[in-house]
């Protein structure tokens, strides 16, 4: 294992991913940002230089940060935000993990404006290595034309009474096509923006690493005439299983193997936006929105003419707004599931309006309020507060059995679906079902699949299981970025007796001093 060094300069640049020019928040002046590669076991040393003009932080989605909780990148929880003009160095081991990940800002909806990119951990002992010749990374994301800061102000204003803003476009690997006739007058919009093109050579087999890095949008991925053999989900190898259409919830990743065994030609790559899901997902259709739900790219065989495909879509149906069924995937390396549980944490998710008529989301009736100046890690490790002294609006749940087993009973008491994400762990999905009463007889204790993001259906229960072996403050939240800002967030303080033995690196402590100083300056 070696240490790999990356430098991420965050700045505002003008870019037109879908043809519509706007100022975006960029990583190294590009969108998506710089892709990070490592081999299993490597360390990543990543310098983030903030030139955005606003504070930020960077989170490595799916990386478990064993022994390095303070580099998890959640402002208000594991660090203070990085002020403008300041650099911060993240330095962590990828440990025992391999597979497909991503990284994104974890501050105020900023990732929806461009601060997101793939992070790939290659496995020198990949059990599927003989089964493919090349690999590509494909991201799917939604895209807004207005500044997220402005949209958030609207979303979180009293009596707004509306729903989540509908994106303007969907992008495949950072490229989309906006209908410029719908753009406001005087905007700089290039019609017929080129589509993303992936080149295949006849006879070769390709590993595609597919991820959904959206703020709101659920995508369904497919390639005409080319079935997808799934081999990995959220960093876990699966037994091979073939689908024609792959639903990918926000935050989820898959590797699939695709064979270039069709006629030399062009084929549509489809990243279809499930608009039924935008509708049920407490959003309303913005009548001014020119969003095209049929986001496409092109799979082009070497030797095929440079034309648009004329192929047709698979007719297969998928579950509305939801991901693959919970027991659809089987681990390639089945392990005996730990149990019985030593701890049970019930998280009841609701949505509503607060006393000021602002739309909020709640975990056990408490909407999360971020404290950026004094993150939980500072309160616990530097100021030596006890769990009971932590403010209630920080939605803290704690359990302290080393190598115990914690079950999360997550009850989604509203009609919206929520892509539910946990930091620090892949959780075993033991079961899910309608209603808010867990049916214990439905729990699967035989080879359940562990992952870090799972979609909760509207008005449903789900049970997740983890081994409590990773001391830290781990965020759990819905990965719809609007719902994070509305407060559908909690913090798991795992193994506080172990965690408080750690000393936070000086640079992390300094960040809080720098952040406080920058706030004073701007007053």
Name the residue nearer to ligand C2O (CB basis): 119 or 257. Answer: 119
DSSP string, 237-259: EEEEEEES-EEE-TT-EEEEEEE
Between 266 and 462, CB nearer to Cu ion: 462
Quote the CA–CA distance of 216 and 249 in Å, as a whole number. Answer: 9
480 binds, among Cu ion, ligand C2O, none (CB under 5 to 8 A by kind): Cu ion
The conformation of residue 319, written as its DSSP 8-state character, comes to: -
Nearest distance, CB of residue 485 and ligand C2O, angstroms: 12
* Residue 418 contact partner, candidates Cu ion, ligand C2O, none, CB within 5 to 8 A by sort of partner: Cu ion
483 contact, one of ligand C2O, Cu ion, none, CB 5-8 Å limit per kind? Cu ion
Give whole-number Cα distances, 278 to 36, 61, 116, 245, 353, in Å. Answer: 31, 23, 21, 19, 20
Residues of this chain that bind ligand C2O (CB under 6 A): 59, 61, 104, 106, 251, 421, 423, 475, 477, 479
Q: Is 45 exposed, middle or buried (0-12, 13-18, 19+ CB in 10 A)?
A: middle
Identity of the residue, 405 or 480, whose beta carbon is nearer to Cu ion in the bound complex: 480
Residue nearest to Cu ion (CB): 478
From the CB of 486, what's the least distance to Cu ion, in Å?
Answer: 8
Q: Is 129 helix (H, G, I), strand (E, B) or coil?
A: helix
Answer for the pair 463, 430: CB distance below 8 angstroms, yes or no: yes
Closest CA to 289 of 391, 218, 183: 183
When CB distances are held under 5 to 8 angstroms depending on the partner's kind, the choice from ligand C2O, Cu ion, none that residue 475 binds is: ligand C2O
Q: Which two tokens stand for residue 6?
A: 């990356």
Shortest separation between residue 359's beta carbon and Cu ion, angstroms: 12
Using DSSP, how many helices (H) and how many strands (E) does the chain show?
A: 6, 30
Q: Which is nearer to ligand C2O, 281 or 491 (CB)?
A: 491
Query: Nearer to ligand C2O by C-beta: 75 or 275?
Result: 75
Residue 177 interacting partner from Cu ion, ligand C2O, none (CB closer than 5 to 8 Å by kind): none
Nearer to Cu ion, 277 or 299 (CB): 277
Indicate which of ligand C2O, Cu ion, none lies near residue 360 (CB less than 5 to 8 Å, by partner kind).
Answer: none
Q: Using H for helix, E for strand and C for coil, what is the string for 13-56?
A: EEECCCCECEEEEEECCECCCCCEEEECCCEEEEEEEEECCCCE
How many CB atoms lie under 10 A from the CB of residue 227?
16
The least CB distance from residue 211 to ligand C2O, in Å, is: 11
Nearer to Cu ion, 229 or 418 (CB): 418
Work out what residue 76 binds among Cu ion, ligand C2O, none; the CB cut-off runs from 5 to 8 Å by kind.
none
CB of 95 to ligand C2O, least distance (A): 18
Closest to ligand C2O by CB, 163 vs 474, is 474
Q: What is the side-by-side strand order in the sheet with 169-172?
A: 169-172, 134-143, 205-212, 253-259, 228-233, 236-243
Residue 329 contact partner, candidates ligand C2O, Cu ion, none, CB within 5 to 8 A by sort of partner: none
Could you tell me the smallest distance in angstroms from the CB atom of residue 479 to Cu ion?
Answer: 7
3-state secondary structure of 483: helix
Minimum distance of Cu ion from residue 484's CB (angstroms): 8
Q: Which of 149, 106, 86 is nearest to 517 (CA)?
A: 86
75/266 with CB nearer ligand C2O: 75
Site residues, Cu ion (CB under 5 A): 418, 478, 480, 483
| Shortest CB 102 distance to ligand C2O, Å | 7
Q: Which is nearer to Cu ion, 82 or 151 (CB)?
A: 151
- Residue count (the chain): 523
421 binds, among Cu ion, ligand C2O, none (CB under 5 to 8 A by kind): ligand C2O
Burial class (CB in 10 A: 0-12, 13-18, 19+), 403: exposed
Q: Which is nearer to Cu ion, 98 or 252 (CB)?
A: 252
377: enclosing H helix or E strand: helix 376-377
CB neighbours of 225 closer than 8 A, spacing ≥ 6? 262, 267, 311
* Residue 360 near residue 486 (C-beta atoms within 8 A): yes
Distance from C-alpha of 30 to C-alpha of 205, rounded to nearest angstrom? 29
Question: To the nearest whole angstrom, how small is the minimum distance from the Cβ of residue 281 to Cu ion?
Answer: 8
Alpha-carbon distance of 230 to 433, in angstroms, equals 25
Residue 155 contact among Cu ion, ligand C2O, none, beta carbon within 5 to 8 Å by kind = none
Say which entry of Cu ion, ligand C2O, none residue 478 contacts (CB below 5 to 8 A, set by partner kind): Cu ion
Shortest Cβ distance from residue 325 to ligand C2O (Å)?
Answer: 23
Taking CB positions, which residue lies at the least distance from ligand C2O?
61
């Amino acid at each position: 294992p070696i240490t790999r060094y990356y430098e991420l300069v965050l700045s505002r640049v003008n870019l037109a991913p879908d043809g519509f020019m706007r100022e975006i928040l960029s990583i190294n002046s590009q969108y998506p940002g710089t892709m990070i590669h490592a081999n299993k076991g490597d360390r990543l040393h990543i310098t983030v230089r903030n030139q955005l003009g606003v504070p930020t932080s960077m989170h490595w989605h799916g990386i478990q940060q064993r022994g390095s909780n303070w580099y998890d990148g959640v402002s208000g929880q594991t660090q203070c935000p990085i002020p403008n003009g300041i650099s911060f160095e993240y330095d962590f081991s990828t440990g025992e993990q391999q597979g497909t990940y991503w990284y994104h800002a974890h501050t105020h909806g900023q990732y929806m404006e461009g601060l997101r990119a793939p992070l790939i951990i290659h496995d020198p002992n990949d059990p599927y290595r003989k089964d493919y010749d090349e690999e590509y990374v494909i991201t799917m994301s939604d895209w807004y034309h207005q500044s997220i800061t402005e949209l958030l102000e609207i979303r979180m204003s009293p009596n707004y009474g509306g729903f989540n803003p509908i994106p303007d476009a969907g992008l495949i690997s950072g490229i989309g096509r906006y209908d410029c006739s719908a753009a406001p007058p005087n905007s700089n919009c290039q019609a017929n923006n080129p589509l993303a093109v992936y080149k295949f050579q006849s006879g070769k087999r390709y590993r595609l690493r597919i991820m959904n890095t959206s703020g709101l949008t659920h995508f369904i991925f497919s390639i005409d005439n080319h079935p997808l053999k799934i081999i990995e989900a959220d960093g876990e190898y699966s037994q091979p299983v073939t689908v024609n259409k792959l639903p990918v919830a926000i935050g989820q990743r898959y590797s699939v193997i695709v064979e270039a065994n069709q006629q030399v030609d062009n084929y549509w790559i489809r990243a279809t936006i499930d608009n039924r899901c935008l509708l049920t997902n407490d959003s309303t259709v913005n009548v001014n929105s020119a969003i095209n739900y049929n986001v496409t790219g092109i799979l082009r065989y070497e030797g095929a003419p440079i034309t648009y495909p004329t192929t047709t879509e698979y007719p297969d149906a998928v579950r509305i707004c939801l991901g693959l069924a919970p027991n659809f995937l089987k681990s390639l390396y089945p392990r005996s599931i730990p149990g019985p549980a030593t701890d049970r944490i019930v998280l009841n998710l609701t949505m509503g309006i607060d006393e000021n008529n602002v739309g909020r989301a709640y975990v056990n009736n408490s909407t999360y309020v971020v404290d950026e100046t004094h993150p939980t890690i500072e309160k616990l490790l530097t100021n030596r507060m006890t769990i009971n002294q932590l403010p209630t609006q920080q939605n803290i749940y704690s359990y302290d059995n080393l190598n115990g087993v914690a079950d999360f009973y997550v009850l989604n008491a509203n009609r919206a679906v929520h892509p539910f994400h946990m930091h620090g762990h892949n959780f075993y999905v033991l079961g899910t079902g309608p209603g808010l009463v867990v049916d214990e007889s439905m729990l699967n204790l035989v080879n359940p699949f562990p992952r870090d993001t799972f979609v909760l259906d509207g008005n449903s229960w789900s049970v997740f299981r983890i081994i409590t072996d990773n001391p830290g403050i781990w965020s759990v939240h819905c990965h719809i970025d609007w719902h994070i800002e509305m407060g559908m967030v909690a913090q798991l303080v795992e193994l506080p007796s172990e965690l408080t033995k750690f000393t936070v690196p000086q640079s992390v402590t300094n960040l809080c001093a720098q952040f406080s100083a920058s706030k004073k300056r701007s007053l």
